[in-house]
Structures are given as structure tokens and as C-alpha cells.
Chain A
Amino acid sequence: MQEIRERIKVALICDKKGVFPVWFEWKGERIKVERVFYKWVEKRGQQVYQHYSVLSGNVLYHLVCHREYMEWFLEGIEG
């Protein structure tokens, strides 16, 4: 996994199962999320980060959301 760690803009869907990214913008390009493969929560102190492993094309993206501030980051990329 190549580390990126860049702030990104994300469009979301909220439903009963939670919050899911639909697309995100990175390097001026809109990347459509085809499938959310995995999501998990990380706690650092009282800060809660929601991680998503998502697929677009043949590329796997690792997205992270700081739950309190709703800030999104592209953590890494593989593929």
C-alpha cells in the first residue's frame, strides 16, 4: 500500500447501516466508489476515526474519516 495521507473531498450516503463514501476527489479527478470492501473504527484517545477500504476500477483506496470533524483523508492506495 502506497502511503498518500492527503485531505480529500468526499460525497456520502447515510443509511441505517452507517455512512458510506460514493465518490471522492483526488488530484482534480472524481473517483467513483464501486464497492466498500471493509470498514473499521480506530480510536486514538477520544478521537474516533472511521476507516474504509474501497475499490474503484482495479485500484484499492484506503479512506479515513475523523468522525467528530468529518474530515476525510486518502490514507493509501494499492493497485
Chain B
Amino acid sequence: MILHVDMDAFFASVEQATNPSLRGLPIAVAGAQKRTVITTASYEARKYGVKTGMAIEQGLKLCPNLKIVVANFKKYEATSIEIMEILKCYGVVEVYSVDEAFVDIGSQDPFKITEYFKKDIRKRFNITCSVGAGENKLLAKLASGLRKPDGFFWIKSISDIYELPVGEICGIGKRTARKLALSGITSIKDFVSAPFYKIKSIMGINGIRTLCFLRGDLKDYVKPYEDKPKSIGNSMTFDRDLFHSQEIYKALFQLAEKVGYRLRRESFEARHLSLIIRYKDFYTFSLEHKQNMAFCEEQEIFTIAKDLIDSIEIEKPIRLLGISVSRLVPSIQQRLFSNRREGCYRAIDKIREKWGFDIITWGIVKDKYLHNKPISPAWRPEKVC
């Protein structure tokens, strides 16, 4: 039996637990920058229509009493790590994101187990979670969304959810749901009774997989370990749009620095770089570079990114820049660094390992743009002693 544990309005709940004066109030957690959007809204705020991804001004229009709280991602990470440790007492845990996890509880009673850990989490943090139970991860995730907040739902048989719209299934978005509807598939019952060829023609092989999971023909496992990363990236939304090349280069170097450090920490080198650019009007595009020689130094990453941006004409002020590296290969110690800079990189990495990333930086970015980076969906806990 697999449980899917989803923390209710996690960031907002942590803020309300931390600060008693926020309890019962409509609050929205947002980044530290002026132009960020609402990351999480408390259930009190959701009643007014405030949603994740909404601009702060829009949220305030819907709910004038909305209290905006600046996100403290370190606090959420630390809380998440402790919650995952609590869950580990009850089964094998796969951390799905900062506020979601799958727990394989074997043949234990899901009602009782859920009751136990909900009590533990509430006692320790005064926050709640919604839990779904099912034979596989897809069913468990589907179930947890059906009783929010602080609920529990067990899909014992697929017939329990026959009447639900097909869009409720994880992995079926609005566009796919529309395509399915055109073929007469609107409910989960329609979906599971549809022939394979029909689903494959609309959704491809992923559709077949989803169908098999729903029918119970396919088993999956909770993975307590992490898969090797396929890419490493960082992006920044700026407080004000950038247009001058010097400030763009500075931002690029700052991104390169972070990506380079993460690559070396994971003992990888990359052979592909994507530079993501978002203009003021939200028009977003990426520029790609591939090379056979693997790289992991920020100077190399910066040079590639700079060449890419220099190859185009910047038409409008830039709102966001991102660097993502992929085609990762394990680093070979001998060519990890170009010799001249080897000692320098080793020293910097050692200092950062001991004192944290921000303790040291390169002269070019000494007055760097401070960025309260949100938690990425790929977040996984780092062991805290």
C-alpha cells in the first residue's frame, strides 16, 4: 500500500505556525523581490480566490486584508526535512518535492498509520497534511487531492472514482483533457474502459502507462534514493529589467558561478548549455550550445553563455535569465579544472563547503544581486546533523 502525503498550503502553514499573529488570517507567501508572485496562499486567502502564481497586486485586489509574508525557504526546507524523518518511522519514503512524499507502508493499515503520523506532524509543527492511499503512486496522489485540507481518502477500487473528470488524473492537463473529451472520454470510467489504441493515439506511450496504473495492471515502487540528475540549472527574475550588457554579464556570471559550483559538488561535468531569456513582455526563449569537451568551471560556463547572448540582438529589456546545463558526465579528476585555475577552484569549493555558498565570490560579482531563490520542484533534502 502506498500513501501520498501532501502538506496543506505548506509555506503559508509554516508561517502561521511560526507567527501566532498570522493564524486564522488570509496570508500569502511571496518571494523577497518586488516582482515575484504568490508562492502559496493560506486556506483563509484561498476562500477569496487568491491562488499560487498570482501577482501580489491581483491577490490584494481580491482580498484587501491579505497579509503578504516574505518567504523563508530555509525554514521550509528544514521543516520538510523533519517531516520526512517523521514519515520514515512509518515506511519507505520517497521525497517527491518539498511538501510531498510517497510512503510505502507495506501491509499496514493506512487509516491507522495516517492517523499516527498526522498526529506527530501536528504536535511537532502545528500544521496539517492531506493523505491519499492506493495500490500505486498514481492512485495515491489522485486520492490525496480529493480530501483537502487535512483529509484522508483511500482508493480501494478504481470504481470508487469512476465519476471523477479525467483531468483529475496526475499527468493529464487541460489540453490533454480537451483532446480526450473530443474522443468522448470525459470521466475516469471512460478512460479506463477505453481501448489501448485510442489512448495511445491521443497521449502516446505515457497514456498507456497511466491506463495500466489505473487498471492496476502495473506496479511501481517507492524509491528512497535519488536518481542521478539529468540537468543542473539556475535562474533569476530581476527586481528591475536589465538592458545594458555589463549588468547582463554580471548576472550571467552569478548564474554560472552557482551552476559551476553545483556541478563540481555533484562531481559532474556538462556538455550542453541552455541559456533562458525572458523579456519584459514575458516572451521567453532559449539559446543552446553543445560541445564535446565537458565543462564545469564558472569561467567556461560564463564564456559559453556570454557568447550565446552576444550572438543575438537584445530587443527588449530582460526580466529573467537562466542557465541550465545537461548531457552530464561523471567528472574525470585529471581534467576537472584547467590547470591554471585548479588550486583556486579547489580553495573556493572548500571554503563554500565549510561556510556556505555566499561566503566567497568572484570580484566581478562582488556587489551581487541578492536572490531569495525559491525551492525548485527538484528539491531534495540535504542531511542536517
Residues of A within 8 A of B (CB): 37-38, 40-48, 51, 53, 55, 60, 78-79
Contacts and interface: CB of A to CB of B under 8 A. Distances in A.
Interface in B81-112: 81-82
Contacts of A42: 74-75, 78
A37 B19 contact: yes
Nearest to A60: B19
Contacts of B312: none
**Interface secondary structure of A, over-half rule:** strand
A41 B18 CA distance: 13
A40 B17 CA distance: 12
26 contacts: A37-B17, A37-B18, A37-B20, A38-B18, A40-B75, A40-B82, A41-B78, A42-B78, A43-B384, A44-B358, A45-B353, A45-B354, A45-B355, A45-B357, A47-B354, A47-B356, A48-B384, A48-B385, A51-B75, A51-B78, A53-B19, A55-B20, A60-B19, A60-B20, A78-B19, A78-B21
In the complex, which of the residues A40, A45, A51 has the most CB atoms of chain B within 10 Å of its own CB atom?
A40
Interface in B14-56: 14, 17-21
Contacts of B125: 38
B293 interface: no
Interface in B316-359: 351-359
A43 B384 CA distance: 7
Nearest to B19: A60
B186 interface: no
B217 interface: no
Given A53-B19, A78-B21, A43 B382 contact: yes
Given A44-B357, A79-B21, 13 more contacts: A38-B125, A40-B74, A41-B384, A42-B74, A43-B356, A44-B359, A45-B355, A45-B356, A48-B384, A60-B20, A60-B21, A78-B19, A78-B21
A46 B353 contact: yes
B234 interface: no
B267 interface: no
A69 B173 CA distance: 51
B350 to A, nearest CB: 10
A47 B355 contact: yes
B79 interface: yes
Nearest to A50: B78
Contact of B352 (A37, A45, A51): A45
Nearest to B385: A48
